[in-house]
A and B are shown apart, each in its own frame.
Chain A
C-alpha cells in the first residue's frame, strides 16, 4: 500500500492556545479516514496544515511524497481540498467557477472539458450548470465544492465537513460519491456525524484538545469498549433518581450509569466486574419490583459512546 499522506508531529499554537498538539497521521491509497472530534478539537487546523494553507509551528506533512512546505507546488498538485463551509466565488456560474479551478490546476483545454463534463454528470450539477453559485441551495453549493476538489482527479482528497448542512438524501448521495471514488485515493473526511464514519470510513481518527486519542477501524474502536460485561436497561420512566434507587439493590455488584434520557424513558447501564448475570433473570427481578422495564440486553457500545468516552476523558 502506498502512503499518500504522511503528517508527523504537527503542532500549531494560536497565541497561548495550542490548537494542534503533536498530531501524526498517515493515510494509504484506498483508505478513507474519518477525522472526528468535538468542535475546536483541531480538526480543521490539522487539515489546513496538511493542505499547505497553514504553516505548522513544528512537524512536517507530505502529500504524494512531496513535502508540503519545501515543495508546495508539487504537493498541492496532488491534492483536492474542500475547505470548511465550501467557499466559492458567489458571482460566478458553476461552469465558470469549475473551469477557473481546473485551469489553475493546470488542466489543458480538451482535458478540462472532459473533466467538466464528468463533474457535471458525477456530482450531478447539470441542472445548475450555468447558474451563479450564490443562487444555489446549500446542497448544491456543497456539491460544487466537491466538484472543485475533484476536478483534477487528485490522489489525495481532504474534505472538511462535506455533509454539513445537507438533508438526509443529500448526505446519502455524498457518501455514495465518496465510496465510489475511494479505491484509488487517500481521503480524509472530517465530520461530526458518527454514522457517517461507520458508513464510509475504513478508519476513524478521533482528536480531542489537539491530540489524537484514537486511531482504528470503526469496528475495532467499538470492539475495544465491547467486553460483554455490561447490561443495558431501558425503563419507561423519567424519574431518574428514584429509578436508580430502585434498581440498585436488584443488580448486585454492578456499577450504575445513566446513559441518556429520552421521550420519558431512561437508558441505564449496569457495569459488572465479571461476566454479568443472565439478562432474563434481571428482567424478571426488575418487573417484580414494579419497574416499567422496556428492554434488557447485553450492552453493545455504539461509536457515539466510544467517541464520548475518549473525548471527554481528556478534559
Chain B
C-alpha cells in the first residue's frame, strides 16, 4: 500500500512539474483567466447585475471547461505513447492504476491552481457587498468536481491516440455531449422517438443539471456521487485502455 501511495506521488510530482516545464502552463492560465473574466464581466454583465454573488462567473465554467480540460488532459497518455516513454512507465515495478491516478491528480491539481487564481473575484464580491460565501464555496467545489470529471474523461480518451490534437477534439466532443445532455434542445430531439427511460437516462447524465444545483449551494449526495463515479469510472476505463493500447 505504501509502495502504491509512493508511486502515485512520484508520478504526480513529475506530471505536475511537466505542466510548468513549457510555457504552455502559463498560456493556459492566462487564457483561462482572460476568458473567465471576459465572460463574467462583459457577457454576463457582472456589475450591471447589481448582485453580490458569483453566479455570473460559475455559469460559464461548464462551457469554458469543455475546451480547457481536454487541453490539460490531451497530453497525459497520447504523449507517452508517441514518444515511447510508455514502455518505461509500464515496465516499472508498480501497479498501472497508480500511474493512472498520479497523472490524473497532477492534471486536477493544475486545474486547482487555475481556479485558485480566480479567487480575487471572490474577494471583490465580498468587498462590493455581502454575498453568501457558503454558496460561493459550494460553487467552487462543484466547479472543481466537474473539472475532475472532464479531466478523467479527457485522460481516458488520450490513451486511444498518439496524436494530441485528435485526443483534444475527441475529448471536447464527449464532454460537450455530457454538458448538453440535460438541455431541452437535446432532450426534445430524443423524446420524439426514444422510449421514456432513454430520455430519462440521457437527462440523468447531464453535467449541467448537477452543476447548477451545486452552484446554488445545494451540496447533495446524488451530485457528489454523480461526479465521483464519473471520475472513478473514467479512471478505471483509463487503466484498462492503457494496458490494451500501450504496445500499439
Contact = CB atoms under 8 A, between A and B. Distances in A.
A136 interface: no
B10 interface: yes
Contacts of A291: none
Contact of A106 (B3, B17, B22): B3
Contacts of B85: 87-89
A76 B6 CA distance: 17
Contact of B18 (A52, A89, A104, A106): A89
The secondary structure that dominates the B interface is helix
A73 interface: yes
A81 B93 CA distance: 12
A205 to B, nearest CB: 21
A73 B94 CA distance: 6
A79 B88 CA distance: 11
B184 interface: no
A83 B88 contact: yes
Interface in A18-36: none
Interface string B83-111: 11101101111110000000000000000
A103 interface: yes
Given A53-B246, A91-B18, A76 B88 contact: no
A75 B21 CA distance: 33
A252 B95 CA distance: 68
B14 A76 contact: no
Contact of B22 (A74, A87, A91): A91
Nearest to A76: B93
Interface in A30-67: 48, 51-54
A81 B18 contact: no
B92 A54 contact: no
B7 interface: yes
- Interface size, A (range): 20 to 34
Interface in B180-227: none
Contacts of A76: 91-93
Nearest to A45: B247
A74 B93 contact: yes
Nearest to B7: A104
A213 interface: no
A92 interface: yes
B88 A101 contact: yes
Contacts of A100: 10, 13-14
Interface in B30-73: none
Q: Which of A73, A75, A84, A87 has the most CB of B within 10 A?
A: A87
A87 B87 contact: yes
Contacts of A103: 6, 10
Interface string A86-108: 01111110001000110111100
Given A104-B10, A106-B3, A52 B91 contact: yes
B84 to A, nearest CB: 3
Counting from the closest, the 3 A-B pairs by CB-CB distance are A87-B84, A77-B93, A76-B93
Interface of B: 3, 6-7, 10-11, 13-14, 17-18, 21-22, 83-85, 87-88, 90-95, 246-247
5 contacts: A81-B91, A84-B84, A90-B83, A104-B7, A104-B92
